[in-house]
Structure 1
């Protein structure tokens, strides 16, 4: 299994804007066949090193992760993230 984790820091990290973006991410659930697991977490500590949102997804294979990356539903999410994201970091690993 491949685990794909992304942390997002938003330009506007007001609670309302963070929740809107978290919901955009959650809305991928059930819409992308290759996406086997999704969890979206909103930061509760708000320290200087915190990111605003964590996205944890799981896929059966690298091929499935690759298919997810170009899936039309995910592409719409990327459009949203490009508008609201200040920065992001990711880690992909076998689990």
Structure 2
């Protein structure tokens, strides 16, 4: 199993912007067959070191993660994220 974790800091961290981006990310559920599970949440602390949104996805294999990366629905999300994000960090690990 592979866990894919991505943290996003948005250019506009208003509640409206964060809410819209959370909707876009959650929209992957049920559209990408490789996704075993998907969680998307927003930061509640709002400290200077915080990121605004976390995405946690689970895949059965590294091959499934790679398939997700090139999936047309994921590419649509990437387009949105390229417009709204200031920065992001990610980690992928086996468990």
> What is the TM-score normalised by the length of structure 1?
0.99
3-state SS of 1:90 partner? strand
Task: Give the match for residue 46 of structure 1.
Answer: 46
Task: Give the match for residue 18 of structure 1.
Answer: 18
**CA distance in structure 1 between the aligned counterparts of 2:32 and 2:13, rounded to whole angstroms:** 27
The two structures, once aligned, show a CA RMSD in angstroms of 0.3
Does 1:9 find its partner at 2:42?
no
**CA distance in structure 1 between the aligned counterparts of 2:82 and 2:32, rounded to whole angstroms:** 20
**CA distance in structure 2 between the aligned counterparts of 1:48 and 1:85, rounded to whole angstroms:** 16
**CA distance in structure 2 between the aligned counterparts of 1:38 and 1:47, rounded to whole angstroms:** 25
> What is the TM-score normalised by the length of structure 2?
0.99
Unaligned runs of 5+ in 1: none
Structure 1 residue 72: Cα displacement: 0.2
**CA distance in structure 1 between the aligned counterparts of 2:23 and 2:34, rounded to whole angstroms:** 19
Unaligned runs of 5+ in 2: none
Count of residue pairs the alignment pairs up: 95
